Each structure stands twice: as C-alpha cells, then as structure tokens.
C-alpha cells in the first residue's frame, strides 16, 4: 500500500484491520519513499477468500493512494 503518513487515521485503521487478520499475516515492512509518502508491504499466507477480504478492507481505507493484492499458488 502507498499512503501519506501524515494521515494518522490510515495507520490506526490499517493496524486494527491487520490485528483482526493476525492469523494470515506473516510480516509487514514499512518504507519511507519520501518525506510524505510511505509504502507498506504485508506478506500473507492463507485461503484466497480470506486474503482477498483482508486486501479489500485495507485498500478501501480512505487515503490509501495505491494497493494491490498479488497471490501465487504454492502447491
């Protein structure tokens, strides 16, 4: 996800959603792309339906500039 880190409500909403999906989140990484813009990458593992639900909830947070779920089958 790419977002403006000055919008603190994005962080609180994102954290709340991620805590609700703690069972599928493996890790997250936070990068500072500029003074204002951040990139957060969240590594997940689980059923496609659950991962899509998580992604939809995160990407639709007001203020998220860009977000995309990329999945790959591991079997």
What DSSP line would sit under the chain, residue for residue? Answer: -EEETT-HHHHHHHHHHHHHTTTTEEEEEEEE-SSSEEEEEEEE-S-HHHHHHHHHHHHTSTTEEE---------
For residue 74, the model assigns a pLDDT of: 79
pLDDT digit string (tens) for 8-62?
Answer: 899 999 999 999 999 999 999 999 999 999 999 999 999 999 999 999 999 999 9
């Amino acid at each position: 996800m790419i977002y403006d880190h000055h919008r603190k409500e994005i962080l609180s909403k994102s954290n709340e959603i991620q805590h609700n999906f703690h069972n599928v989140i493996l890790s997250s990484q936070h990068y500072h792309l500029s003074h204002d813009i951040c990139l957060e990458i969240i590594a997940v593992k689980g059923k496609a339906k659950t991962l899509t639900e998580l992604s939809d909830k995160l990407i639709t947070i007001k203020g998220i500039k860009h977000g995309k779920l990329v999945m790959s089958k591991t079997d």
